[in-house]
Structure 1
Amino acid sequence: MAKITYIEHDGTEHVVEVKPGLTVMEGARDNGVPGIEADCGGACACSTCHVYVSADWVEKLPERDEMEEDMLDFAYEPDPLRSRLTCQIKVTEALDGLVVTMPERQI
Protein backbone atom coordinates (compact mmCIF):
# COMPACT_ATOMS: atom_id res chain seq x y z
CA MET A 1 0.00 0.00 0.00
CA ALA A 2 1.08 3.56 -0.64
CA LYS A 3 0.20 6.27 1.84
CA ILE A 4 -1.01 9.36 -0.02
CA THR A 5 -1.86 12.71 1.53
CA TYR A 6 -4.68 14.65 -0.11
CA ILE A 7 -4.93 18.26 1.05
CA GLU A 8 -8.14 20.18 0.51
CA HIS A 9 -7.94 23.83 -0.55
CA ASP A 10 -8.74 24.89 3.04
CA GLY A 11 -5.78 22.87 4.37
CA THR A 12 -7.71 19.84 5.64
CA GLU A 13 -5.54 16.75 5.19
CA HIS A 14 -6.66 13.22 4.38
CA VAL A 15 -3.98 10.55 4.65
CA VAL A 16 -5.11 7.31 3.06
CA GLU A 17 -3.55 4.04 2.03
CA VAL A 18 -4.09 3.25 -1.64
CA LYS A 19 -3.59 -0.15 -3.20
CA PRO A 20 -0.99 -0.32 -5.97
CA GLY A 21 -2.60 -0.60 -9.39
CA LEU A 22 -5.31 1.92 -8.60
CA THR A 23 -5.00 5.55 -9.62
CA VAL A 24 -4.57 8.47 -7.24
CA MET A 25 -8.11 9.49 -8.27
CA GLU A 26 -9.53 6.08 -7.36
CA GLY A 27 -7.77 6.28 -4.00
CA ALA A 28 -9.53 9.57 -3.27
CA ARG A 29 -12.90 8.35 -4.52
CA ASP A 30 -12.76 5.04 -2.64
CA ASN A 31 -11.84 6.80 0.61
CA GLY A 32 -14.38 9.61 0.43
CA VAL A 33 -11.83 12.39 -0.04
CA PRO A 34 -13.71 15.56 -1.04
CA GLY A 35 -12.41 17.85 -3.77
CA ILE A 36 -11.74 15.30 -6.49
CA GLU A 37 -14.95 14.96 -8.48
CA ALA A 38 -13.78 12.70 -11.32
CA ASP A 39 -16.85 13.33 -13.47
CA CYS A 40 -15.58 11.17 -16.36
CA GLY A 41 -14.71 8.26 -14.08
CA GLY A 42 -11.04 8.28 -14.96
CA ALA A 43 -11.19 8.37 -18.76
CA CYS A 44 -9.07 11.55 -19.02
CA ALA A 45 -12.06 13.28 -20.60
CA CYS A 46 -12.48 16.09 -18.08
CA SER A 47 -10.33 17.98 -15.59
CA THR A 48 -12.33 17.44 -12.41
CA CYS A 49 -9.64 15.33 -10.74
CA HIS A 50 -7.03 18.09 -11.05
CA VAL A 51 -4.49 18.51 -8.23
CA TYR A 52 -1.22 20.27 -7.55
CA VAL A 53 1.53 17.76 -6.83
CA SER A 54 3.91 18.69 -4.03
CA ALA A 55 7.04 20.23 -5.58
CA ASP A 56 9.32 17.50 -4.28
CA TRP A 57 7.23 14.87 -6.11
CA VAL A 58 7.02 16.48 -9.56
CA GLU A 59 10.18 14.81 -10.89
CA LYS A 60 9.32 11.43 -9.31
CA LEU A 61 6.11 10.97 -11.29
CA PRO A 62 5.85 9.77 -14.90
CA GLU A 63 5.59 12.64 -17.36
CA ARG A 64 2.21 13.88 -18.51
CA ASP A 65 1.16 12.53 -21.88
CA GLU A 66 -0.40 14.67 -24.61
CA MET A 67 -3.99 13.83 -23.65
CA GLU A 68 -3.42 14.85 -20.02
CA GLU A 69 -1.71 18.06 -21.16
CA ASP A 70 -4.73 18.88 -23.33
CA MET A 71 -7.23 18.24 -20.52
CA LEU A 72 -5.24 20.37 -18.07
CA ASP A 73 -6.01 23.35 -20.32
CA PHE A 74 -9.58 23.08 -18.95
CA ALA A 75 -8.57 22.82 -15.29
CA TYR A 76 -9.10 25.58 -12.73
CA GLU A 77 -5.91 27.64 -12.41
CA PRO A 78 -3.47 25.02 -13.73
CA ASP A 79 0.17 25.25 -12.72
CA PRO A 80 2.54 24.48 -15.62
CA LEU A 81 4.82 22.35 -13.43
CA ARG A 82 2.70 20.95 -10.59
CA SER A 83 -0.75 20.33 -12.10
CA ARG A 84 -1.75 16.73 -12.73
CA LEU A 85 -4.92 14.77 -13.34
CA THR A 86 -5.12 12.13 -10.64
CA CYS A 87 -6.79 9.67 -13.01
CA GLN A 88 -3.51 9.52 -14.91
CA ILE A 89 -1.24 8.67 -11.98
CA LYS A 90 -1.03 4.92 -11.29
CA VAL A 91 -0.23 4.11 -7.69
CA THR A 92 2.89 2.05 -7.02
CA GLU A 93 4.83 1.41 -3.82
CA ALA A 94 7.21 4.14 -5.03
CA LEU A 95 4.43 6.70 -4.52
CA ASP A 96 4.35 6.08 -0.77
CA GLY A 97 4.34 9.55 0.80
CA LEU A 98 2.93 11.40 -2.23
CA VAL A 99 1.28 14.72 -1.33
CA VAL A 100 -1.30 16.41 -3.56
CA THR A 101 -3.35 19.57 -2.99
CA MET A 102 -6.75 20.20 -4.52
CA PRO A 103 -7.50 23.50 -6.22
CA GLU A 104 -10.12 25.87 -4.84
CA ARG A 105 -12.67 24.26 -7.18
CA GLN A 106 -12.94 21.83 -10.06
CA ILE A 107 -14.38 22.83 -13.43
Structure 2
Amino acid sequence: MVRGRNRWWLVAVVAGIPALALIWLVTAVLRAATSDDPLGRGPREVPCAEAPEFGGARLPTGAYDTRCTVEVWLDTRYAAAFRMPRAELAGSAAPVRARRRGPGSAWATRPTCA
Protein backbone atom coordinates (compact mmCIF):
# COMPACT_ATOMS: atom_id res chain seq x y z
CA MET A 1 0.00 0.00 0.00
CA VAL A 2 1.29 3.43 -0.94
CA ARG A 3 1.58 5.87 1.90
CA GLY A 4 -0.95 8.80 1.77
CA ARG A 5 -3.24 7.13 -0.73
CA ASN A 6 -5.89 6.20 1.83
CA ARG A 7 -6.33 9.83 3.02
CA TRP A 8 -7.77 11.27 -0.22
CA TRP A 9 -11.19 11.61 1.40
CA LEU A 10 -9.76 13.94 4.05
CA VAL A 11 -8.42 16.27 1.36
CA ALA A 12 -11.77 16.11 -0.46
CA VAL A 13 -13.66 17.10 2.69
CA VAL A 14 -11.26 19.91 3.57
CA ALA A 15 -11.45 21.29 0.00
CA GLY A 16 -15.19 20.66 -0.35
CA ILE A 17 -16.37 22.72 2.62
CA PRO A 18 -14.96 26.04 1.36
CA ALA A 19 -16.18 25.18 -2.14
CA LEU A 20 -19.75 24.70 -0.86
CA ALA A 21 -19.54 27.94 1.12
CA LEU A 22 -18.38 29.78 -2.00
CA ILE A 23 -21.23 28.32 -4.07
CA TRP A 24 -23.75 29.39 -1.40
CA LEU A 25 -22.27 32.90 -1.25
CA VAL A 26 -22.35 33.36 -5.04
CA THR A 27 -25.96 32.12 -5.15
CA ALA A 28 -27.01 34.50 -2.34
CA VAL A 29 -25.35 37.49 -4.01
CA LEU A 30 -26.92 36.71 -7.39
CA ARG A 31 -30.35 36.24 -5.82
CA ALA A 32 -30.07 39.54 -3.93
CA ALA A 33 -28.88 41.38 -7.02
CA THR A 34 -31.65 40.13 -9.30
CA SER A 35 -34.67 40.21 -6.97
CA ASP A 36 -36.79 43.00 -5.55
CA ASP A 37 -37.54 40.80 -2.55
CA PRO A 38 -34.47 38.60 -1.97
CA LEU A 39 -35.68 37.15 1.32
CA GLY A 40 -39.12 36.23 0.00
CA ARG A 41 -40.94 38.28 2.61
CA GLY A 42 -42.91 40.54 0.29
CA PRO A 43 -46.65 41.03 0.45
CA ARG A 44 -48.74 37.91 0.00
CA GLU A 45 -52.46 37.50 -0.57
CA VAL A 46 -54.63 36.67 2.45
CA PRO A 47 -58.39 36.17 2.87
CA CYS A 48 -60.12 39.53 3.23
CA ALA A 49 -61.82 38.42 6.43
CA GLU A 50 -58.38 38.19 8.07
CA ALA A 51 -56.98 41.62 7.16
CA PRO A 52 -59.48 43.98 8.84
CA GLU A 53 -59.96 41.56 11.73
CA PHE A 54 -56.30 42.10 12.68
CA GLY A 55 -57.15 45.74 13.45
CA GLY A 56 -60.45 44.95 15.14
CA ALA A 57 -62.64 45.91 12.17
CA ARG A 58 -64.56 44.17 9.42
CA LEU A 59 -65.26 44.83 5.76
CA PRO A 60 -68.48 46.70 4.97
CA THR A 61 -71.33 44.49 3.82
CA GLY A 62 -71.46 45.99 0.32
CA ALA A 63 -67.71 45.65 -0.36
CA TYR A 64 -66.65 44.09 -3.66
CA ASP A 65 -63.44 43.79 -5.71
CA THR A 66 -61.57 43.05 -2.50
CA ARG A 67 -57.81 42.55 -2.41
CA CYS A 68 -56.01 41.98 0.88
CA THR A 69 -52.30 41.45 1.55
CA VAL A 70 -50.01 40.93 4.52
CA GLU A 71 -46.30 41.63 5.01
CA VAL A 72 -44.59 40.00 7.95
CA TRP A 73 -41.05 40.61 9.14
CA LEU A 74 -40.27 42.69 12.19
CA ASP A 75 -43.85 44.00 12.24
CA THR A 76 -47.06 42.75 10.68
CA ARG A 77 -48.71 44.99 8.07
CA TYR A 78 -52.09 44.23 6.55
CA ALA A 79 -53.53 46.15 3.61
CA ALA A 80 -57.11 45.90 2.33
CA ALA A 81 -58.44 47.50 -0.84
CA PHE A 82 -62.08 47.26 -1.83
CA ARG A 83 -64.92 49.07 -3.57
CA MET A 84 -68.39 49.78 -2.31
CA PRO A 85 -71.48 51.64 -3.54
CA ARG A 86 -71.46 55.39 -2.89
CA ALA A 87 -74.80 55.27 -1.04
CA GLU A 88 -73.45 52.74 1.46
CA LEU A 89 -70.27 54.77 1.89
CA ALA A 90 -72.20 57.82 3.06
CA GLY A 91 -74.04 55.72 5.64
CA SER A 92 -70.94 53.99 6.98
CA ALA A 93 -68.90 57.20 7.24
CA ALA A 94 -71.51 59.07 9.33
CA PRO A 95 -70.60 57.43 12.68
CA VAL A 96 -66.93 58.19 12.03
CA ARG A 97 -67.69 61.86 11.34
CA ALA A 98 -69.77 62.07 14.52
CA ARG A 99 -66.84 60.84 16.66
CA ARG A 100 -64.29 63.17 15.04
CA ARG A 101 -63.25 66.16 17.07
CA GLY A 102 -63.10 69.58 15.49
CA PRO A 103 -60.60 72.45 15.71
CA GLY A 104 -59.94 73.64 19.23
CA SER A 105 -60.70 70.27 20.79
CA ALA A 106 -58.31 68.41 23.07
CA TRP A 107 -57.00 66.36 20.13
CA ALA A 108 -56.40 69.35 17.89
CA THR A 109 -54.55 71.64 20.34
CA ARG A 110 -51.04 71.27 21.65
CA PRO A 111 -50.59 70.91 25.40
CA THR A 112 -49.15 73.91 27.19
CA CYS A 113 -46.35 73.69 29.68
CA ALA A 114 -46.83 75.41 33.04
Q: Same fold (TM over 0.5)?
A: no
Q: Under a length normalisation based on structure 2, what TM-score does the superposition of the two structures give?
A: 0.21
Larger RCO (alpha carbons 8 Å, 6+ apart): 1
- Structure ID, larger Rg: 2
